[in-house]
Structure formats: structure tokens, C-alpha cells
């Protein structure tokens, strides 16, 4: 079964660099799923001037199997499979299990089989592209047993898959093997009330070392996504407990983020040196010159801080997010929308120069063999020490002294120490979005998350990037232009009153009033704006009155007889209120009153001409006012539809106000424009 979820975004470009999503659809809904197992909130930045974006999420293809057998630790299971057929098993990794091994014995390959593939994955069925461990055993392998070690994700279901690969020829003979699952639990050494000694296990002899793990206590708040993690000693209520470090080991802070409820905010990790106090002189001293702390943070498993500024996990290595030294005594990082699960913050102290580590390959192979034998035969009480015991044994042999390393550096005989203070907190929005944004809570498919809505073209997670912000004086100019340009509608009101178009005069005054206060509320980038009511209400009134003014102007030009103008006015008011409620900005909403009004004008003028068979219009109005008004209206429509952009909006939209007011003055008929009804 293969699920494909396609999310289509249809954005409208409001300004040059900002997109507003106006709809979101999916090709299919996953109706078979009754709840979320894991939820991940993603933030996507749409590239500049993009008008369409599509996101495709494809699940790994899996084959339906008759059954997936559940296994337990310590029991040997026989496996028999035809060539190119896979066998799947599932097992549960309990809490406090750091890693596990699959012990494979009695491997028998069929004639058409060339290799055995073993894949392990957590929380999902493994595949070629998705596996926390993949081991290939060739058919020429002649050892009696194979051990496949892998790191685990505690308190989760895992899957192991066996595939005997070979030619596509039919083969009625099965390949076979036997396997046993073995877990390795975290055991404490010399535990106390502030930390537990553990061993960082690795398949590299240079990365095996001791560390002290601290389990943090969660402090919740009444606000959404607001919580923190603290280190507390027994009989102590202080929340700022320092972590003492030496260069011989590193420290690990362990904390857990809850599913669904903790992933919608921003996680902040701050690390700083604890001030050194000279008790004799009673003064504060600075950190020594050569001291350097490298810090890492990630979910599911701890990373190893290595020289000069890296974080290592299995075969991967990334740049460390936090580095402290004498010149940078504090550092912080933010993680938007962190994943749920167990997180590990690790940091290590380095001092002095780095002497490159040059461990011989023979020593590394001897270490791997020692660990393999130890983990296969150890019991639960001694298994946690296999890596450290094997490293000690190999290092003390001739030629392997250079394997006593601290990552890429030879372990120094000089031991230094320091203390750090940390702060791990979560907040809804980074820095509460600052002075140029608002922290908003969004709900999407039952998942709640927080995000900053920035004003005045500010950007960034906390709306602190002012690279595209509008200067204050330009905001003032924009506000004045858009507000004062509506004064052009006052002469229109006066002209309509003088020409005895009283209904039209009221509508023109309404568009002047609502357009003025709408732009006064909207144009100031929330800095100097003035709102007499909600922006949505002002926007509706502005668009509605604009459409209504177009409609009543065309009805006045049509010069309908007796009671027909009243009927058209009330009908238009009802229909336009309905269409404006559906979509204020749709082009069809503007086209409806324009096209309908022009049709009414043409029909009524044609009926008048057919009745008297002669000119019934004032020639000056017909040959001067109508063509000039059409030109002015066309110019305004071109500006409004094709030329307005985010950058020139304040100029061209203000010009649009003036042009439309002038067009109404030109096109609104005078009392003597049409012949009286008695002469028709």
C-alpha cells in the first residue's frame, strides 16, 4: 500500500515578498487513521515572487504480509525464506535500553542466494532508504555467528527484516538462519543525587568514553507551549544548579517532550560559564584562555562533542550549535517546533592543544572483535562495560597506546575543570515576536502550533529582520496619501446633490467615509494606524460601498422611467451585499454590477431612441462627457488591475481614488442631459 499526500497551495501575492495562502486542499484524506502517532510541524519559506507551490509527501512502499511475528529478548528464533522473499519481526524496546544486538547463527544460503540483508528500523517497517541499521552478509561468509549492533529508541516498537537476495530463478529450497535479540540496559556507576555515570558506546575505539547523565525535571506553566526543564538536587529548591565538568568526560542532560502538546512552540537552549569566584580575594575571575566547551542537542540519542567544533553521532558529523570560550562566555540556540520524544543536550570541556589521534587499524579491528565477543557472552550486570573494558584492554597492548583518544585528539594527561549553567525553556513564539509582530496560535488538522505574524514587512522567527521593512517616514506618506486622496469624493457628493441625485450623494459620502477610515486602519502597518472598529468590518464596508457607487452611477446614466430606479437601487443593494460577503476581492464581484449596469443603459437608451427616432441626449454629454468619462474609467481600471504592486500601492491606489471621483463627476448626468418624459 502506498499513500501519497499532495498539498496544493494557491497563494495570492499581496506584496513582492509576501504570500498569503487562501486555500489548501489534499488529493486524499487518510480516513483509516484514527489518531496521530507522531506529529511533525514544518515551517516552509516560499521563495520570492512564487505564485504556485506544491508539496508532495510519499510514504515508503511496503508489502502486505500474512503476519508479523512478535519476538522477545533472549529467545532464539529460526528463520526460513525463499530467495528475494523478506521475513519481518517486531519487538518492543523498553525504557533504559541504550542499544541492542542481533546475534545471527547457523546461516545456510540456498544455491541461488548471494547475500543476506539485515535491516532494523524503529517505529516503522525498514526499507532500503529508511533503516537505523543495515548489514549485508555475503554468501562466502564462513564465520559461525554474526552480531549486528544498533542503537535503539527507548519505549518504542522496532522492526527487523531478513532478506536473502539472489538471482530471479525459481528456487524451492529455503535459506535459513537462527537469531537472538539481546538488549543492553543503562546501568549506573557510583550514582549520586546529581548525576549517573554511564558509558558512551561506539563502534570506534576513539569515541568510547564515560559521561555523567542528568535527568531534568519539567516545570509547566499555564500558558500554552510554556515550560522549562531544571536540574534539582535533593533537599534543594534552587532552580539554577551548575553542572561541573572535567576534560576527561562529558555531561548529558536528558529531558522528554510530550507528544502533540509540546511540539508547537520554540525550544531554547542557553549555555554559559558559571562565574569563577576567588574566595581568598573575593573577586570574580575570567575563564582560562584555553578552555573551550562544545555543546550539542538532538532527540532520541546523545551526540558526542568533538574537537574543534563538531557533534558526532554514529557515522554522521555536524557543526556544533553552541561553542563557549573566553571571548564567548554564553551562547544560545532556538529549535522551532521540536520533535516529541527524549532529547539529549551534551557538552564537553576541552583545554590545551589538540594532538592528532593516530589509532592503527589493527587496534580498531581488535577492539571490534573484543566487543563482539563480550556482548555475545556477557550477562546483564556486565554488558554495559563491554566497550570500556575492551578499550582499556586494547590500549594497554603494544602498539595501541595511541588509541587512547578523545575523539580526533589524543587524550591529554592534564585535566582541567569548569562549571556551566544552562537554561532549557520553551515558549510559544521566540522573544514574543518582538515589537513588530504578534504571536498567533494556529490549528491545522487538530494540531496546535504558534507562529509570529510580522507587521511592516519584518521577517524572521521573532520578526527582528528589518531588511525589507518600510521606513517610518514612508509609512506616514503612505497613510496620508491613502487617507487624504478620499477627499476627492467630497466634490462628487456636492455635484450629485446639486444635480438632484440624492441617493447617489449618500452612497458617494459613504464610500468617502468608509474608505477613509479603512485605509487609516490598514495603511499604517500597525504602527500609526487608527481603527474606529474591526478592520474586517471597515474592509467590507469599503468594498461594498465601492460596488454600490458603481451600480447607482450606471442606473443614473441609464435614466430609467418613474419607479424603476428605486427597484434597481434596492435590488442592487441586496445582491451586492450577498456577493461582497462571499468574496470581497473577486473580479466577478466587480464585473457583475458593471456588466449588468451597462446592459441596462444600452437597453433603455435603445428603447428611448426607437420611441422617438431622434436624439434624446444632450450632444455635449454624448460626444464629450461619455467618451472622456470612458477614457478616465479605463485608465483607472488599468491602474487598479494591471499596474498596482506592493511597492507602488500607496501612489497608484491614491491615484485610483482621485480618478474614480473625477470619472463620476464627468459621467453623472445633469438635469438637462435627457429630454423630459413628456417629450418622449
* Distance separating alpha carbons of residues 442 and 42, to the nearest angstrom: 13
Residue-averaged pLDDT of the chain: 83
Q: For position 263, what pLDDT does the model report?
A: 87
Q: For position 175, what pLDDT does the model report?
A: 86
Residues 515-557: tens digit of each pLDDT: 999 999 988 777 788 899 999 999 999 999 999 999 999 999 9
Q: Give the closest residue to 407 by CA, choosing from 330, 294, 289.
A: 294
Give the residue, 123 or 17, on which the prediction is more confident.
Answer: 123
Please check whether residues 302 and 444 belong to one and the same domain.
Answer: no
Residue 124 CA: distances (Å) to CA of 73, 89, 127, 673: 19, 11, 9, 80
Q: For position 373, what pLDDT does the model report?
A: 85
- Average pLDDT estimate for 297-306: 89
- Average pLDDT estimate for 501-510: 96
End position of a domain, from candidates 150, 185, 220: 185
Please check whether residues 267 and 247 belong to one and the same domain.
Answer: yes
C-beta separation of 527 from 478 below 8 A: no
End position of a domain, from candidates 136, 166, 185: 185
Give the residue, 269 or 111, on which the prediction is more confident.
Answer: 269
Q: 653 in a domain, yes or no? A: yes
Give the residue, 572 or 166, on which the prediction is more confident.
Answer: 572
Helix (H/G/I), strand (E/B), else coil: 373: helix
Of all residues in the chain, what percent carry a pLDDT higher than 70? 85
Number of domains in the chain: 5
Q: Is residue 332 predicted with pLDDT exceeding 60?
A: yes
Q: Is residue 24 predicted with pLDDT exceeding 60?
A: no
Residues 131-188: tens digit of each pLDDT: 888 888 887 877 778 888 888 887 888 999 999 888 766 556 788 899 999 888 775 5
Please check whether residues 512 and 593 belong to one and the same domain.
Answer: yes
Q: 366 in a domain, yes or no? A: no
Please check whether residues 464 and 476 belong to one and the same domain.
Answer: no
C-beta separation of 394 from 366 below 8 A: yes
Please check whether residues 459 and 480 belong to one and the same domain.
Answer: no
Q: Is residue 42 predicted with pLDDT exceeding 70?
A: no
Please check whether residues 149 and 247 belong to one and the same domain.
Answer: no
Please check whether residues 179 and 200 belong to one and the same domain.
Answer: no
Q: 299 in a domain, yes or no? A: yes
Of all residues in the chain, what percent carry a pLDDT higher than 90? 31
- The C-alpha angle with vertex 206 and arms to 296 and 153, in degrees rounded to 5, equals 50
Please check whether residues 646 and 505 belong to one and the same domain.
Answer: yes
Q: 374 in a domain, yes or no? A: no
Q: 497 in a domain, yes or no? A: yes
- Average pLDDT estimate for 582-593: 90
Q: For position 386, what pLDDT does the model report?
A: 84
Q: 401 in a domain, yes or no? A: no
Provide the whole-model pTM.
0.68
C-beta separation of 211 from 200 below 8 A: yes
Q: pLDDT-based confidence at 189, cuts 50/70/90?
A: very low
Q: For position 281, what pLDDT does the model report?
A: 64
Please check whether residues 420 and 437 belong to one and the same domain.
Answer: no
Give the residue, 51 or 18, on which the prediction is more confident.
Answer: 51
* Distance separating alpha carbons of residues 459 and 215, to the nearest angstrom: 36
Q: Please give the residue range of the domain that contains residue 204.
A: 196-354+409-427
Q: For position 11, what pLDDT does the model report?
A: 34
Q: For position 23, what pLDDT does the model report?
A: 39
End position of a domain, from candidates 185, 216, 243: 185
Read off the CATH number of the domain in which 148 is found.
Answer: 2.60.120.680
Please check whether residues 269 and 306 belong to one and the same domain.
Answer: yes
Write out 87-134 in H/E/C secondary structure: EEEEEEECCCEEEEEEEEEEEECCCCEEEEEEEEEECCCCCCCCCCEE
* Distance separating alpha carbons of residues 119 and 136, to the nearest angstrom: 9
Q: 386 in a domain, yes or no? A: no
**Which of 14-18, 271-275, 357-361, 402-406 is predicted least confidently?**
14-18
Q: For position 240, what pLDDT does the model report?
A: 67
Residues 413-442: tens digit of each pLDDT: 888 889 999 999 999 998 888 888 889 988
Please check whether residues 214 and 80 belong to one and the same domain.
Answer: no
Q: Is residue 58 predicted with pLDDT exceeding 70?
A: no
Give the DSSP H/E element, type plus range, for residue 70: strand 69-70
Please check whether residues 15 and 144 belong to one and the same domain.
Answer: no
* Distance separating alpha carbons of residues 635 and 660, to the nearest angstrom: 10
Q: 383 in a domain, yes or no? A: no
Amino acid at each position: 500500500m502506498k499513500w501519497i499526500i499532495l498539498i496544493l497551495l494557491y497563494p495570492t501575492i499581496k506584496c513582492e515578498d509576501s504570500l498569503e495562502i487562501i486555500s489548501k486542499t489534499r488529493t486524499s484524506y487518510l480516513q483509516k487513521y484514527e489518531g496521530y502517532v507522531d506529529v511533525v510541524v514544518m515551517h516552509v519559506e516560499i521563495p520570492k515572487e512564487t505564485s504556485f507551490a506544491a508539496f508532495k509527501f510519499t510514504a515508503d512502499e511496503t508489502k502486505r504480509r500474512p503476519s508479523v511475528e512478535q519476538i522477545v529478548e533472549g529467545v532464539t528464533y529460526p528463520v526460513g525464506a525463499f530467495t528475494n522473499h523478506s521475513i519481518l519481526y517486531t519487538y518492543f524496546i523498553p525504557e533504559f535500553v541504550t542499544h541492542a544486538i542481533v546475534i545471527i547463527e547457523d546461516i545456510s544460503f540456498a544455491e541461488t542466494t548471494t547475500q543476506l540483508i539485515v535491516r532494523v528500523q524503529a517505529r516503522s517497517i525498514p526499507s532500503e532508504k529508511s533503516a537505523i541499521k543495515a548489514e549485508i552478509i555475503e554468501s562466502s561468509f564462513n564465520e559461525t555467528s554474526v552480531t549486528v549492533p544498533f542503537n535503539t529508541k527507548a519505549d518504542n516498537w522496532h522492526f527487523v527484516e531478513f532478506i536473502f537476495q539472489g538471482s530471479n530463478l525459481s528456487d524451492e529450497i529455503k535459506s535459513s538462519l537462527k537469531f537472538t535479540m539481546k538488549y543492553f540496559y543503562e546501568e549506573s556507576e557510583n550514582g549520586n543525587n546529581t548525576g549517573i555515570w554511564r558509558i558512551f558506546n561506539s563502534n570506534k575505539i576513539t569515541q568510547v568514553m564515560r559521561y555523567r547523565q542528568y535527568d531534568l525535571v519539567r516545570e509547566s506553566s499555564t500558558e500554552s507551549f510554556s515550560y522549562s526543564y531544571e536540574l534539582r538536587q535533593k533537599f534543594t529548591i534552587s532552580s539554577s544548579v551548575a553542572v561541573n565538568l572535567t576534560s576527561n568526560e562529558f555531561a548529558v542532560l536528558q529531558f522528554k517532550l510530550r507528544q502533540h502538546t509540546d511540539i508547537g512552540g520554540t525550544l531554547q537552549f542557553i549555555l554559559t560559564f558559571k562565574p569563577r569566584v576567588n574566595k581568598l580575594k573575593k573577586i570574580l575571575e575570567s575563564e582560562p584562555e584555553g578552555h573551550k566547551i562544545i555543546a550539542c542537542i538532538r532527540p532520541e540519542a546523545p551526540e558526542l562533542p568533538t574537537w574543534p567544533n563538531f557533534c558526532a553521532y554514529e557515522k554522521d558529523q555536524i557543526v556544533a550549535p553552541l561553542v563557549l570560550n573566553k571571548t564567548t562566555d554564553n551562547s544560545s540556540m532556538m529549535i522551532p517546533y521540536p520533535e516529541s520524544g527524549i532529547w539529549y543536550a551534551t557538552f564537553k570541556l576541552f583545554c590545551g592543544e589538540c594532538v592528532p589521534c593516530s589509532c592503527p587499524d589493527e587496534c580498531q579491528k581488535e577492539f571490534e572483535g573484543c566487543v563482539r565477543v563480550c556482548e555475545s557472552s556477557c550477562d546483564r550486570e556486565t554488558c554495559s562495560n563491554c566497550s570500556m573494558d575492551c578499550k582499556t584492554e586494547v590500549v594497554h597492548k603494544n602498539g595501541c597506546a595511541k588509541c587512547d583518544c578523545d575523539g580526533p585528539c589524543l587524550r591529554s594527561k592534564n585535566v582541567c575543570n569548569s562549571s556551566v549553567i544552562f537554561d532549557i525553556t520553551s515558549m510559544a513564539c521566540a522573544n514574543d515576536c518582538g515589537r513588530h509582530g504578534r504571536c498567533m496560535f494556529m490549528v491545522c488538522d487538530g494540531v496546535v502550533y504558534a507562529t509570529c505574524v510580522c507587521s511592516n514587512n519584518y521577517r524572521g522567527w521573532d520578526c527582528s529582520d528589518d531588511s525589507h521593512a518600510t521606513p517610518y517616514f514612508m509609512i506616514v506618506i503612505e497613510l496620508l496619501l491613502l487617507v487624504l486622496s478620499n477627499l476627492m469624493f467630497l466634490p462628487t457628493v456636492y455635484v450629485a446633490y446639486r444635480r438632484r441625485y440624492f441617493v447617489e450623494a449618500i452612497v458617494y459620502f459613504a464610500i468617502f467615509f468608509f474608505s477613509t477610515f479603512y485605509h487609516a486602519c490598514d495603511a499604517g502597518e500597525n504602527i500609526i494606524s487608527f481603527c474606529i472598529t474591526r478592520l474586517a468590518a471597515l474592509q467590507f464596508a469599503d468594498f461594498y460601498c465601492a460596488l454600490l457607487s458603481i451600480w447607482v452611477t450606471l442606473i443614473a446614466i441609464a435614466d430609467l422611467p418613474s419607479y424603476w430606479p428605486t427597484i434597481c437601487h434596492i435590488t442592487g443593494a441586496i445582491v451586492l451585499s450577498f456577493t461582497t460577503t462571499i468574496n470581497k476581492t473577486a473580479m466577478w464581484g466587480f464585473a457583475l454590477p458593471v456588466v449588468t449596469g451597462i446592459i441596462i443603459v444600452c437597453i433603455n437608451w435603445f428603447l428611448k431612441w426607437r420611441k422617438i427616432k431622434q436624439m434624446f441626449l444632450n450632444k455635449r454629454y454624448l460626444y464629450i462627457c461619455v467618451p472622456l468619462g470612458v477614457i478616465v474609467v479605463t485608465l483607472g481600471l488599468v491602474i487598479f488591475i494591471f499596474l498596482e504592486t506592493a511597492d507602488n500601492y500607496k501612489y497608484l491606489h491614491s491615484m485610483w481614488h482621485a480618478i474614480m471621483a473625477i470619472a463620476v463627476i464627468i459621467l453623472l448626468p445633469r438635469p438637462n442631459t435627457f429630454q423630459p418624459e413628456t417629450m418622449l
